[in-house]
A and B are shown apart, each in its own frame.
Chain A
């Protein structure tokens, strides 16, 4: 098996089938989110879906669903301004979820005893369309320099889908997740597309090597532009904050591939799975030489 066949196998191992538990739960939560929005604001908000599934970049190890909840430009159903809309949409989830307030999105987590703080991988993004075309939209930016940001979900989705480098994006998402790199996913995807401009026909391994070489070799952050708002959404700060670690890990990865090969980066391909994960965990537990019991300070 050559390195590109190997990378394709890694990718297929990262797919989530339609009947997978993860996607089923995502669908259940999606229905619940929509129900809560409709209960509170009726049929006025326009609900659309984005995130990795819509963009075709979903990987098992790092997936999410973006649910945008946009109000028509002339509606004050959810509030008169963006901050009010953000706050009121947040409040409508409070009885069903723990809501983590991100810059523009609301991250939903479990609030029941048995799923407290479990992440449902759902971001709800409240906003208001900028005109009657229901295309461009303004979203609130909490604790940011500019309190509103113009964006366009359809442009974002299409830009990624049409990039021709979705496989490279998916593999680099796995890499980013495993390294615990804290860079906004959208900015990271734009960086990949920018660096692979003109290299769509290259093999997957060549594309990845090119990305890591470019990042590793660039002392300063590489400039990327938001296709939905090239002049108004400055991603420079995001790139600047993430760059040192991104660069260091790109350099490490190049060294790893040079000295140890691709399998150290993305893992060995498992032999045909004859045993379930639980059975394997049971067997692994039996061979632990120094077991210990977990504890918890509170009941």
Chain B
């Protein structure tokens, strides 16, 4: 039973976090967007700000992954 519960926990955690840096970066992007939305001037466009931040995060994370892979094989 405990192995099943452990499996459920591992799976639930693994569901959301595969790469720690990406997960932390995504949380940071959400916090920045939420803070920006507190300003009346930025609130309307906060969604687009989040999209830009997330795309920048994904591209940076993939670049790092690619560099790591290249270093690993060379």
A binds B: no
- Please report A residues at the B interface, Cβ cutoff 8 Å: none
